[in-house]
Amino acid sequence: MHTRRIGDVEVSAIGLGGMPMSIEGRPDEARSLATIHAALDAGVTLIDTADAYHRDAHEVGHNETLIAKALASHDRGKDVLVATKGGHLRPGDGSWTLDGSPRHLKEACEASLRRLGVEAIGLYQFHRPDPKVPYAESVGAVRDLLDEGKIRMAGISNADPDQIRQANDILGGRLVSVQNQFSPAFRSSEPELDLCDELGIAFLPWSPLGGISRAGELGPTHAPFARIAEAHGVSPQQVCLAWMLAKSPVVVPIPGASRPETIRDSLAATDLELGAEELARLDAV
């Protein structure tokens, strides 16, 4: 498995996104555990989760608990950087709400620590800006958690360039990652990717294949990806991830998966080399 860096930690060049295993339409636990174990067997050392990855109101942190169980039952579990997030909530009716208050973030971090069964969270990320709370206050809470040793590294998610700079300043230059939506259908985070490249901050594209319901449509909806995939004898999804990896050494995609075969296919993208002309064609889509 090829590797990249988040802060001072070396991780697999492609991680595993845990959300599909915990929200609506999720598989049974046995298949989810098999999916996580398949990722570990293939060399994954980064798993992304969040306390909001759950379906029902009474099961906050479902995905964190699931991941902790999977890691505890695998001999490579201790080698994994678990990245979780706080600041987003799911009332249980399918909607998403926000709470970026320092009090909530600190309480959420404590709860995540308990569910993950660790003394310090490897990477803790402020999930999404809350318009009701000054951004500096939210990031300040993450800084406090870092200073207190509750988390080992700090990141942000769904941030714009100004927020990236502000967060890095508040954290005293210790911002290690930015997790934004980025895919062939969603390119508006290019400025954030470019800034992360400039600053040496890891950029973690979420929904890199277009999202849970659209990942399988990547080829039909973006023809160049399908044509290049056919030429290489691989899936359009592999081409997509290889294209992202070629954009910058700071890019670490985190495709979601709920089946062993899908995460294995995604991870094969680390061995796919695309030519300059192919990359140019994909950039132009």
**Contact between residue 181 and residue 160 where contact means Cβ atoms under 8 Å apart:** no
SS3 193: helix
Cα–Cα distances (Å) from 23 to 92, 199, 261, in that order, read: 10, 34, 20
Q: Name the H helices within the chain.
A: 29-41, 62-72, 102-116, 135-147, 161-170, 190-199, 218-221, 223-232, 236-247, 260-267, 276-283
**Contact between residue 19 and residue 208 where contact means Cβ atoms under 8 Å apart:** no
Lookup: tokens for 105 = 């973030």
Q: What is the C-alpha to C-alpha distance for residues 20 and 57, in angstroms, rounded to an integer?
A: 17
User: Can you tell me which residue has the tokens 């999720």?
Assistant: 26
**Contact between residue 39 and residue 261 where contact means Cβ atoms under 8 Å apart:** no
Instruction: Please indicate whether residue 53 is annotated as part of the active site.
Output: yes
Which of 12, 47, 53, 210 is catalytic? The answer is: 53
Active site residues: 53
